[in-house]
């Protein structure tokens, strides 16, 4: 089945700096890659996604890149703010027809 690895597990950045979280996947048939933000005590919230026919997608301060050849995708957050502090999860949807999640990254934005 699909295996998704996510790095780093924790990330601290200064407010205003950029943050990058990286994920790799194993199933070459995976074609959909969402990213979720989970705040304490809440459910994961979809923040951006990308499909396999696109290499990059941007939404204001958030961008996601996908390299299908290398089977990795990344989340980029620019101009980070304290409210960006949360746990971020990547996921992949492949031949198993279900989402497989990464292990999560605890992002802390220091004021």
Partner 1 sequence: DAGVIQSPRHEVTEMGQEVTLRCKPISGHDYLFWYRQTMMRGLELLIYFNNNVPIDDSGMPEDRFSAKMPNASFSTLKIQPSEPRDSAVYFCASSGETSGSGFFGPGTRLTVL
Residue 72: burial class (beta carbons within 10 Å; 0-12, 13-18, 19+): middle
Among 46, 54, 61, 95, binds partner 1 (CB under 8 A): 46
Report helix, strand or coil for 61. coil
Cβ of residue 73: shortest distance to partner 1, in angstroms? 14
Cβ of residue 87: shortest distance to partner 1, in angstroms? 10
Question: Which CB atom, from 77 or from 93, has the smaller least distance to partner 1?
Answer: 93
Task: Give the range of 8-16, 44-52, 57-65, 69-77 binding partner 1 by CB under 8 A.
Answer: 44-52
Q: Would you state the structure tokens that stand for residue 57, as one six-digit string?
A: 């997608």
Residue 3 contacts residue 68 (beta carbons within 8 Å) = no
Q: Would you state the structure tokens that stand for residue 7, as one six-digit string?
A: 């790095």
Question: Which CB atom, from 60 or from 97, has the smaller least distance to partner 1?
Answer: 97
Question: Which CB atom, from 80 or from 100, has the smaller least distance to partner 1?
Answer: 100
Residue 104 contacts residue 6 (beta carbons within 8 Å) = yes
Q: State the residue for tokens 């990330």.
A: 11
Instruction: Name the residues that contact partner 1, by CB under 8 A.
Output: 32, 34, 36, 41-46, 49, 89, 91, 93, 97-99, 101-104
């Amino acid at each position: 089945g699909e295996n998704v690895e996510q790095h780093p597990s924790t990330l601290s950045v200064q407010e205003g700096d950029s943050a990058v979280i990286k994920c790799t996947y194993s199933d070459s048939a995976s074609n959909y890659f969402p990213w979720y933000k989970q705040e304490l005590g809440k459910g994961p919230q979809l923040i951006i996604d990308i499909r396999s026919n696109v290499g990059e997608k941007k939404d204001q301060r958030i961008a996601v890149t996908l390299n299908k050849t290398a089977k990795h995708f990344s989340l980029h957050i620019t101009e980070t703010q304290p409210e960006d502090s949360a746990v971020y999860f990547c996921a992949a949807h492949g031949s198993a027809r279900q989402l497989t999640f990464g292990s999560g990254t605890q992002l802390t934005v220091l004021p």
